[in-house]
């Protein structure tokens, strides 16, 4: 099993990252003088995520590309900008099989991924209901999501799959708004908004969706798949469609659950966010660090994988699912088993 390496999140504007022998140095200039903020063994780091105005040396860029260290750049809203891509790994025959999947088989894959997404979304609603007072919207969403899962079983049309996914998402986020407690709840989340996010919860989940999506892209590249060629999300220039496909399996289970916990235990409040002149909401620096700490803690947790029936760290799930998808495309597995928690 692959070892879960450390992820480094750089959020301080103006810092400089560079490599010195086997060490990663993080520095900033203070009154014209270099000041060392941190140093880390470079081989202990699997991913580096840079937010805002971060400078990286050519030597470090080259090291990341050559050694498969995932280095990605985002704006302050968490919108992905660019990443470092090294040598393509894996068998070219696998990518050829990925590219040649027929429409019917692609729709079947898309359907299984959507069904898993809806099951995980419904499970989050059910878990919340077990520990809190329910609401009419919550009950309606739980019931309708169950019906949609059943409807999907007999569907073969791509447009119908998309339509049911959209309806499920609408019900889910309507109920999601009822899951935030306290006097600030209406200010925290009203509906799903993005580019830019319009409230604190959307700012957090957009940020983490973006980061997790990049980790999934790295996992897909690691098994030799092309992250841009998807089945649920069709190809579009500059979009990692297959990474977005697998992201659907983890949105509720990983990201949405983190947001609920952070806001409901008051680790985050409206005071931790700023609104820009266009109405976009951004996370303040200290709060962003807290979000990443919670994300890293979640990744360290273990779960019994429903298909493998083995304990797996949550942070390794993208790599496991990428491996299972590759095995399916090679013909080693009759069906791709998307990740979904049973309880």
Report the CATH number at residue 78. Answer: 3.100.10.20
Q: Report pLDDT for 2.
A: 55
Instruction: Please give the model's pTM, rounded to 2 decimal places.
Output: 0.84
What is the token pair recorded at 325? 């998808």
User: Residue 278 pLDDT more than 50?
Assistant: yes
The residue ranking higher by pLDDT, 167 or 37, is 167
Q: Do 61 and 198 fall within a single domain? A: no
Is 43 inside a domain boundary? yes
Q: Do 157 and 260 fall within a single domain? A: yes
Are residues 255 and 244 in contact, defined by beta-carbon separation less than 8 angstroms? no
Is 337 inside a domain boundary? no
Report the CATH number at residue 236. Answer: 1.20.120.920
Q: How many domains does the chain have?
A: 2
Q: What is the pLDDT of residues 113-154, one digit of tens each?
A: 999 999 999 999 999 998 888 889 999 999 999 999 999 998
User: Residue 88 pLDDT more than 80?
Assistant: no
Share of the chain above pLDDT 70, in %: 95
Instruction: Round to whole Å and give the CA distance between 179 and 60.
Output: 43
User: Residue 184 pLDDT more than 70?
Assistant: no
Q: Report pLDDT for 228.
A: 92
Q: Do 56 and 184 fall within a single domain? A: no
Q: Do 111 and 243 fall within a single domain? A: yes
Q: Do 130 and 200 fall within a single domain? A: yes
Q: Which of 181-185, 256-260, 335-339 has the lowest mean pLDDT?
A: 181-185
Are residues 56 and 184 in contact, defined by beta-carbon separation less than 8 angstroms? no
Is 24 inside a domain boundary? yes
Instruction: Round to whole Å and give the CA distance between 164 and 278.
Output: 32
Q: Do 127 and 236 fall within a single domain? A: yes
Instruction: Round to whole Å and give the CA distance between 96 and 81.
Output: 28
Q: Given the DSSP bridges, would you call strands 45-51 and 70-74 parallel, antiparallel or unpaired?
A: parallel
Which residue segment(s) compose the domain that 205 sits in?
Answer: 92-330
Return the bridge partners of 20, or none. Answer: 23
Cα-Cα-Cα-Cα torsion 287, 285, 70, 115, nearest 10 degrees, comes to 40
User: Residue 1 pLDDT more than 50?
Assistant: no
User: Residue 91 pLDDT more than 80?
Assistant: no
Q: Do 174 and 230 fall within a single domain? A: yes
What's the full length of the chain, in residues? Answer: 343
Instruction: Round to whole Å and give the CA distance between 20 and 43.
Output: 12
């Amino acid at each position: 099993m692959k070892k879960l390496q450390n992820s480094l999140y750089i959020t301080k504007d103006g810092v400089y990252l560079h490599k010195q022998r086997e060490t990663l140095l993080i520095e900033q200039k203070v009154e014209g003088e270099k000041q060392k903020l941190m140093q880390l063994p470079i081989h202990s780091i699997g991913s580096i995520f840079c937010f805002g105005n971060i400078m990286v040396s050519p030597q470090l860029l080259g090291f990341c590309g050559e050694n498969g260290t995932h280095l990605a750049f985002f704006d302050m809203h968490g919108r992905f900008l660019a990443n470092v891509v090294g040598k393509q790994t894996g068998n070219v025959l696998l990518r050829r099989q990925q590219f040649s999947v027929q429409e019917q088989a692609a729709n079947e894959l898309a359907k299984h991924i959507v069904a898993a997404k809806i099951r995980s979304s419904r499970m989050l609603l059910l878990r919340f209901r077990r520990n809190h007072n329910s609401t009419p919207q919550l009950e309606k969403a739980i019931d309708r999501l169950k019906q949609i899962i059943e409807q999907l079983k007999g569907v073969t049309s791509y447009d119908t799959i998309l339509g049911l996914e959209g309806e499920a998402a609408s019900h889910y986020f309507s109920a999601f708004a009822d899951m935030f407690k306290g006097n600030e709840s209406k200010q925290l989340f009203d509906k799903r908004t993005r580019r830019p996010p319009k409230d604190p919860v959307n700012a957090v989940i957009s940020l983490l969706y973006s980061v997790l999506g990049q980790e999934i892209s790295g996992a897909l590249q690691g098994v030799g798949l092309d992250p841009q060629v998807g089945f649920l999300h069709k190809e579009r220039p500059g979009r990692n469609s297959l990474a977005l496909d697998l992201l659907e399996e983890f949105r509720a289970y990983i990201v949405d659950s983190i947001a609920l916990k952070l806001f409901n235990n008051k680790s985050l409040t409206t005071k931790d966010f700023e609104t820009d002149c266009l109405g976009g909401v951004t996370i303040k620096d200290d709060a962003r660090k807290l979000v990443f700490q919670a994300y890293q803690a979640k990744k360290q947790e273990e779960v019994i994988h429903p298909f493998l029936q083995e304990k797996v760290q949550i942070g390794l799930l993208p790599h496991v699912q990428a491996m299972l998808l590759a095995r399916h495309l090679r013909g080693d597995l009759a069906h791709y088993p998307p990740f979904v928690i049973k309880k």
